[in-house]
Amino acid sequence: GAAGADGNANVKSFKFTVTNSQWTIFASDTWQYFYNCPAITQDILDNGMVMVYWDANNLSVAHPTNYVPLPIIPFQISTRVLSTSWQLNTLGNGTVTVGISDGAAVPITAQSDLQFKIVVVDGTARKANPGLNWNNYDAVKSALDLKE
């Protein structure tokens, strides 16, 4: 997907869309997508933080914002109860993996396009916002002056 607009100098945000054909499928009940985010440096890993949010407009559960922090365990799309996750590549090369899985080992069917946001915060910005609710994307967007 395409990168989103940068936030302030100490924070970068990236928006990307995963289409149904872009998922890597494992055993039909676990889907993963790998997003390369070069803004995630060793300094970010050591001193900053990375948040991953999902545009959850199609969730049946109410949330205070459309962007919900991952992981979401469980969530429901139609009659399916699924789980989401994310992880950083252990090699530290800035790759973020987002995933969807079915805990009952039932194959996942085609999904509509799903949008995600990654917010990369350096140590200075993280420490300057000790009371910020990082799980509320709208609060993060406002406090850190993120641009859509």
Q: In what order do the strands lie in the sheet with 95-101?
A: 24-26, 30-36, 95-101, 80-88, 75-77
Mean pLDDT of 118-127: 92
**E strand or H helix that includes residue 106:** none
Burial class (CB in 10 A: 0-12, 13-18, 19+), 50: middle
31 touches 100 (CB < 8 A): yes
Judged by DSSP in three states, 141 sits in: helix
pTM of model > 0.95 = no
Over the stretch 74-88, which tens digit does the pLDDT of each residue have? 555 555 566 677 777
Residue bearing the bigger pLDDT, 116 or 103:
116
Q: Which residue has the higher pLDDT, 78 or 100?
A: 100
CB atoms within 10 A of CB 44: 21
The pLDDT tens digits for 45-76 are 889 999 998 887 655 555 556 777 776 655 55
Tell me if residue 44 falls in helix, strand or coil: helix
Instruction: Report, as an integer, the average pLDDT of 91-104.
Output: 78
Query: What was the pLDDT predicted at 14?
Result: 92
**Whose structure tokens read 């950083």?**
88
* pLDDT confidence of residue 1: 45
Determine the Cα angle at 75 with ends 18 and 141, to 5°: 60
